[in-house]
Amino acid sequence: MKRSFWSLIAVQVQVLLNDNAAKLMLITLGAAVAPELLPPTLFQHHHEYAVMIAKQIKTILAAIIILPFIVFSPTAGWVADRFSKRNVIVMTLWAQFVIIGMICAALWFHNLGFSVFGLFLLGVQCAFFSPAKQGIIKEIVTATKISSAVGVVEVTAIASMLLGGLAGGALYDFCLGRMTNSWDAAMVTMAVLLVLALASLIAGYQIKRTPAHTNQPFRAGLLWEHFGQLRDVWSKQTIRLCVLGITYFYGLAGALYLTLFEVSDSLHANHVGTASHTGLYMATLGLGIICGSFLVTRMTTHQVEIGLIPIGSCGLICSALLAGEANPKSALFLAALFTMGLAGALFVVPLNAHLQEQVEPERRGRILSANLLFNNLFGIVAVLMQYIVSAEFSVTPRHQLLLYAIPTAALTAYIIFLTPEGLLRLALGLVARTFYRVTPVGLESMPATGGVLLLPNHISYVDAVILQLACPRPIRFLVYDQIYRARFLHWGLRLLGAIPISPKIARTAIETAVNALARGEVVCLFPEGALTRTATLQKLNRGYELIARKARVPVIPVWLENVWGSIFSYYGGQFFWKMPRVVPLRVSLFFGTPISADAAKPEVVRRSLYDLSAAAFQARPELRSHWLTRRCAVCGRNFSPPCSSTPMRETGRCREASCSPSESSSLCG
């Protein structure tokens, strides 16, 4: 099984490396041999025609690799299910070997048209390889390793595409510097790819055989029915906006690829270095995307941070402007491309995660398929638009980079208009994480959907911020009306959906909270009604009972541990005006089990909060470290209590059968 998985990884690396190397090499070759496609007299007097043909070839090659994914995706999915995925992979590898051999022959005869057709066939081969590769992972990897296996597949896929462009461009330029013409350099490059294709065939046969999963016959409707899935995207505004944002990003990436090629072309005039520089630019961009993806993973611990999306789009604007102004030969230009990739990841990764989060499981396959179709369709549109801007309006590559900032700026303004609360939540979260390290315990008690009423103890003025850091779902807090209407807080609290409450507007606040819960939102009410002055739990008010019963939702008690001591608590006899104990302060939140609305009496909730407080006390690091240093006097082994609820002083012995209670005692090690 392990051999099968790593053989699959080797096959994927080779297929993606070959596709990207061949694409860059043929684009460079097409631009170099464009003058040969014109009659000598025409080229002599009209050099701009040769430049235009070079741009047309470049555009056709960029679009032709996308087209098979639009046309054949449903058919490829049917093939992957109808036949053994391992056999499908092997057949696509044989197809790749034959196609690359055909391209080599076309290059031998200096036939660019047949070479372009070969690139299209490589796209078809990749379209059939992709679903078989994705589908076979679960069949050759155990269920416990599936998550890490998918991660390895995704990372190696990105690395292979980057390496393909970088190595393919470098190999072509290396051959071009030592041979008489571009055709020979291209043929040698494709010959190397042919050898790699043969090696992948050997790896493909190492993948274990898998069964077919359906006997469904082929239907002609498979060729066009996937276009009907585009309608599913428009049924919900959130899904529609996510798909459009993702589509814009990949369209921008496709146009940027051609622009960067033109930047390299302007530096080397289709001579040695054009392909290498393009590969270097794309590798730098891709490295930024990888680093940005890891950064998003670090910043989004429990929830999708949609506030990263406008930050990412702002980064795209700034980096596009910087790249347009920087010298393409300078390190500043590479830094701008790296920043562009980093910002692109901040933009598209949360969008993808938010799309996954918003789609119901039963519709997820259709929506994701429609999203992929949108991306490919707009990818072709973006490539054509880049050609129009470059060839018809004669916009220079550097000005194209500046031009990309304009639609991105409009998109950024629209995103901020739609989701200002996401940006505010992110800003508050980033500041809060500087001063607090929040660890949630029992978070599995929080339902993924549906209305929930949280009932935490109230220690400090930042309890709401700490709760939101720990909770994977947005929370609406009930806030005293006087605080809600404070000059510097009103705008932010209103934006975050806080619900003002006071004796005069209690009925309105309760109705607002009940309606929010009925819509499936999470609402938080501090049942003590005021901040504690003693770090102990105060009397619980009964207002939450009415809200829970009217909304018919469960309540979840929450205990905030180690918040006492924050400068926002009454620790030391005053709020604010004191030095913090430690920065960052480590805080734990213990989520209790849900209690039904009818059973959530004050004594029941209070008992639950006390139980959570006891669990929080037992989990304190200083107590745990003390337990771990106790040693048995007989055998000298470290030992801990038999269960978390049994103090060590009551057992006095280690767990080894050789040590009886009378023979052992606890000593500090």
Confidence of residue 389 (pLDDT cuts 50, 70, 90): very high
Residue 613, domain CATH: 3.40.1130.10
Q: Give the tens place of pLDDT for each residue, 92-140.
A: 999 999 999 999 999 999 998 899 999 999 999 999 998 888 788 878 8
356 and 304, same domain (yes or no):
yes
Bridging pattern class, strands 475-480 and 630-632: unpaired
451 and 502, same domain (yes or no):
yes
61 and 162, same domain (yes or no):
yes
Chain centre to alpha carbon of residue 180? 46
139 and 261, same domain (yes or no):
no
6 and 127, same domain (yes or no):
yes
* Amino acid type, 360: E
Q: For the residues 496-506, what does the mean pLDDT come to?
A: 89
| DSSP string across 605-625 | HHHHHHHHHHHHHHT-HHHHH
Residue 232 within a domain: no
Contacts within 8 Å (CB) and 24+ apart, 239-243: 239/355, 239/358, 239/359, 239/367, 241/418, 242/351, 242/352, 242/354, 242/355, 242/358, 242/371, 243/355, 243/367, 243/370, 243/371, 243/374
Q: Is the model's pLDDT at 307 over the cut of 80?
A: yes
Higher pLDDT, 307 or 387: 387
430 and 410, same domain (yes or no):
no
Q: What is the pLDDT, as a whole number, of residue 576?
A: 80
Structure token pair of residue 61: 């090659």
Higher pLDDT, 322 or 306: 322
- By the 10 Å C-beta count (0-12 exposed, 13-18 middle, 19+ buried), 609 is classed as buried
Q: Give the tens place of pLDDT for each residue, 342-351.
A: 999 999 888 8
The contacts of residue 490 (CB under 8 Å, 6+ apart) are 484
Q: For the residues 347-365, what does the mean pLDDT come to?
A: 78
Share of the chain above pLDDT 90, in %: 44
Residue 4 within a domain: yes
- Of 356, 386, 418, which residue constitutes the final position of a domain? 418
Q: How far apart are CA 578 and CA 586, in angstroms?
A: 18
- By the 10 Å C-beta count (0-12 exposed, 13-18 middle, 19+ buried), 660 is classed as exposed
Q: Where are the alpha helices (DSSP H) in 436-551?
A: 463-470, 481-484, 490-495, 506-518, 543-551
Residue 71 within a domain: yes
Q: Where are the alpha helices (DSSP H) in 109-145?
A: 112-140
Say if CB 337 and CB 286 are below 8 A apart.
no
Confidence of residue 629 (pLDDT cuts 50, 70, 90): very low
- By the 10 Å C-beta count (0-12 exposed, 13-18 middle, 19+ buried), 431 is classed as exposed
Confidence of residue 362 (pLDDT cuts 50, 70, 90): low
Residue 161, domain CATH: 1.20.1250.20
Residue 401 within a domain: yes
Could you give the C-alpha distances from 666 to 455, 647, 655, in angstroms and in order?
A: 40, 12, 12
Q: Which of 40-54, 71-85, 330-344, 495-509 has the highest mean pLDDT?
A: 330-344
Residue 326 within a domain: yes
Higher pLDDT, 230 or 475: 475
Structure token pair of residue 602: 């004050």
Range from 65-74, 599-608, 623-632 carrying the lowest mean pLDDT? 623-632
Say if CB 587 and CB 562 are below 8 A apart.
yes
Q: For the residues 47-55, what does the mean pLDDT come to?
A: 72
Q: Give the tens place of pLDDT for each residue, 562-618.
A: 888 888 888 878 888 777 777 888 899 999 999 999 999 999 999 999 999 999 888
193 and 154, same domain (yes or no):
yes
Q: Give the tens place of pLDDT for each residue, 647-665.
A: 444 444 444 444 444 333 3
DSSP letter, residue 569? B
Q: For the residues 329-339, what does the mean pLDDT come to?
A: 96
542 and 515, same domain (yes or no):
yes
Residue 106 within a domain: yes
- Of 418, 436, 454, which residue constitutes the final position of a domain? 418
571 and 664, same domain (yes or no):
no
- Of 402, 418, 434, which residue constitutes the final position of a domain? 418
Residue 298 within a domain: yes
Range from 201-205, 302-306, 428-432 carrying the lowest mean pLDDT? 302-306
Phi and psi at residue 441, in whole multiples of 5°? -125, 130
Share of the chain above pLDDT 70, in %: 88
Q: What is the pLDDT, as a whole number, of residue 212?
A: 84
Number of domains in the chain: 4
Say if CB 126 and CB 166 are below 8 A apart.
no
Confidence of residue 625 (pLDDT cuts 50, 70, 90): low
Could you give the C-alpha distances from 286 to 163, 273, 274, 501, in angstroms and in order?
A: 10, 20, 18, 50
490 and 459, same domain (yes or no):
yes
Q: Is the model's pLDDT at 633 over the cut of 70?
A: no
Q: How far apart are CA 596 and CA 620, in angstroms?
A: 30
3-state secondary structure of 522: strand
198 and 264, same domain (yes or no):
no
Q: What is the pLDDT, as a whole number, of residue 642?
A: 45
The residues that bridge with 561 in the sheet, in sequence order, are 588
Q: What is the pLDDT, as a whole number, of residue 377?
A: 92
Range from 509-518, 520-529, 562-571 carrying the lowest mean pLDDT? 562-571
203 and 109, same domain (yes or no):
yes
The domain of 280 spans 237-418
- By the 10 Å C-beta count (0-12 exposed, 13-18 middle, 19+ buried), 583 is classed as exposed
Range from 79-88, 178-187, 352-361 carrying the lowest mean pLDDT? 352-361
Q: Is the model's pLDDT at 392 over the cut of 70?
A: yes
- Secondary structure of 251-271 in HEC code, one letter for each residue: HHHHHHHHHHHHHHHHHHCCC
Residue 229 within a domain: no
